[in-house]
């Protein structure tokens, strides 16, 4: 089984993970424990805590993705993928 990779999560989920990780450290968990729970390295957890301590929890918010918006939104793209993989299910 492949290890979890946080880069596969959407930005809103990653923001939630950052906030929850900082809250857990502030409640007394070690960065190593928090990192194991959320599937990130402890140094990343330390970075988030440092950023939150310096600029507040708002510093953990997801930033807008630069570049051109995709031609298809995620929902349509997923539907297209499902139709291509399972065409018999959609009577194509």
pLDDT tens per residue across span 43-87: 999 999 999 999 999 999 988 878 887 666 655 555 555 555 544
The CATH fold assigned to 1-64 is Arc Repressor Mutant, subunit A (1.10.10)
Model pTM score: 0.66
Q: Could you write out the DSSP letters of every residue in 7-73?
A: GGS-HHHHHHHHHHHHHHHHTT--HHHHHHHHTS-HHHHHHHHHHHHHH-GGGGSPPPPPSPPPSS-
pLDDT of residue 20 exceeding 70, the answer is yes
């Amino acid at each position: 089984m492949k290890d979890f990779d946080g880069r596969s999560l959407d930005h809103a989920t990653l923001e939630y993970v950052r906030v929850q990780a900082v809250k857990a450290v502030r409640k007394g968990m070690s960065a190593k424990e928090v990192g194991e729970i959320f599937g990130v390295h402890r140094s990343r957890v330390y970075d988030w805590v440092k950023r939150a301590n310096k600029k507040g929890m708002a510093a953990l918010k997801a930033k807008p993705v630069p570049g051109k918006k995709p031609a298809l939104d995620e929902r349509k793209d997923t539907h297209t993928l499902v139709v291509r993989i399972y065409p018999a299910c959609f009577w194509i």
